[in-house]
Amino acid sequence: MKGQRLITNIQLFNAKAIVKNTAVESMKIDMRSIAERGACSLQYAVTGSGTARFEYLISNEDTPTNMIEVATDIATGITVGSGPGTDGKDIAAFTPTVSRWLQIQVTETGNVADIAVTAWLVVT
């Protein structure tokens, strides 16, 4: 319908275990395949006793073999007690740098305990 924006919803992680002091990356998302490419949001749920940091990485290469190493924070210091319901669940809005490829990285930063993460990327 005219005037309505399309929304793309992609599940990135499903109860993905992340060992303390390590990082995991989502699949690489070809942003050209998304009709509308403006604001993004990341809905996440964190369980376990550790602390999570969510970042995005970008690349403009034809094939995304080398994502930009300097990641940009989306949300930091996230624990099972974070979020409006203090249940480790929240939504963080962000506007990524315009690029062909986007990838989400989650790092356990507390260096004390493992976490598990479920997350969805929404692009409008």
Residue carrying the six token digits 């509308």: 36
Given a cut of 60, whether residue 109 has pLDDT beyond it is: yes
Report the CATH number that the domain containing residue 49 is assigned in CATH.
Answer: 2.60.120.660
Given a cut of 60, whether residue 1 has pLDDT beyond it is: no
> Total structural domains in the chain?
1
Domain that holds residue 90: 8-123
Query: Is residue 64, in this structure, part of any structural domain at all?
Result: yes
Query: Is residue 39, in this structure, part of any structural domain at all?
Result: yes
Query: Is residue 1, in this structure, part of any structural domain at all?
Result: no
Quote the pLDDT of residue 67.
72
Quote the pLDDT of residue 2.
57
Span 66-93, mean pLDDT?
A: 90
Query: Is residue 75, in this structure, part of any structural domain at all?
Result: yes
**The model's pTM:** 0.89
For residue 31, the number of C-alpha atoms closer than 13 Å in the C-beta half-sphere is 26
Given a cut of 90, whether residue 108 has pLDDT beyond it is: yes
